[in-house]
Amino acid sequence: MDARMTELEVKLAFAEDLLETLNRTVYRQQEQIDRMQQELRTLRQQMQQSLPTEQHSLRDEIPPHY
């Protein structure tokens, strides 16, 4: 009985360690996702700001000889 109790305690210790490791991994990944989302928002803003503000119609595209 004592050996079974010790075995369960060892398994519990490994399970707790694994859970803590997984929690840290998920936390770091979420931080990375948050940073990447912010960078994506920044890039979208930069792209929209760099687009020309004047709008062209298809009539502007017609060659002059028409």
> In the chain, pLDDT over 70 holds for what percent of residues?
92
Q: Whole-model pTM? A: 0.65
Residue 31 CA to residue 47 CA, distance in Å, equals 24
At residue 45, does pLDDT exceed 80? yes
Rounded CA-CA distance 59/32 in Å is 47
Listed residue (10, 28, 7) closest to 18, CA to CA: 10
pLDDT at 32: 98
Per-residue confidence (pLDDT) for residue 37, from 0 to 100: 98
pLDDT at 66 exceeding the cut of 70: no
CA 33 – CA 27 distance, rounded (Å): 10
pLDDT over threshold 70, residue 41: yes
